Amino acid sequence: MEPKELFDKMEAALVDMDGTLLDTMQIWRQCNIDYLDSNGIQMTPEQRLRVVCAASGNLLFEYVRETFGFEFDVPLFRDLQRKRMMEAYLGGSRIKPGAREFLSALRRRGVKIVLSTSTWATHATIALTKSGFVPFFDAICCSDAVDASKSKPDYFEKVSALIGVPVNRCVLFDDGFHAHKGARAAGLLGGVGVADATNVVFREELAGLTDLMVDSLEELLPFI
C-alpha cells in the first residue's frame, strides 16, 4: 500500500518504543554480548553481529545453542536485562531523530496512538516519563500487561479490542522483524519498518514484511 493511502485509512498507530522512538536497542543487545562474554563464549565479529541482531530472545537462545552448544540461564539473563535497562531508562534515553515530531503529527491528525512494546510495563512507564512522551499516548500495551507476544497475532487482536479500533485500521511502526510478522498474521492495515543498528542482519526480510521502510521517522512527516 502506498504511504498516502496507508495514512489516510489509518485510525490507530501502534508505535514501538526501543529502536523506534528511543535509541535503546543497542543497550538491550549489549546485554546479549556481556552475558556471553561473562560465560567465556568466544565469538568472531560475524557471530557477535548475529548475537547483537537476534530478533527475539528465543532466536538468540536457539542461535547460541546451535552455534556454541551453550544454554542460557534465562532467569539470570532476564535479571541482567531488567537491571541494565532500568539504569538506562532512569538515566534518560536518547530520542531517535524525528520521534517527537512524528508523535506530534499523529496527535494533530487525530488518530489513536498506542505504545506497542515488548518491554516490561514498569520499565516502559519510566522510559516514557523520562522522555516526555506519556501525553502523546492513548494507551500503553506492553506484552507482559497484555499477556501476549508481538510475534503472535493474538497480541494485536487484544490491543485492537482494548482501543476499540479494528485491526484492519491499525498500522504498526516498529524496528522488529518478529513484530511485523505477528502484525501481518493478525491482518493489520499495514506496517512501517524503522531502521536501527540492531536490525541490519534482517533488514531485507523486514522490508519484505512492511509497506514502507524508513531510516528515520522524519521521513514519515510529509505523509501525516
pLDDT tens profile 14-53: 999 999 999 999 999 999 999 999 999 999 999 988 888 7
Query: What backbone phi and psi angles, to 5 degrees, belong to 112?
Result: -70, 140
Is the pLDDT assigned to residue 1 strictly greater than 90?
no
Q: Is the pLDDT of residue 11 over 80?
A: yes
Q: pLDDT band at 147, cuts 50/70/90? A: very high
For the chain, the farthest-separated pair of C-alpha atoms sits apart, in whole angstroms, at 52
Buried b (16+ CB within 10 A) or exposed e, 9-18: ebbbbbbbbb
Check if the beta carbon of residue 174 is closer than 8 Å to that of residue 116.
yes
Burial class of 210 by CB neighbour count within 10 A (0 to 12, 13 to 18, 19+): buried
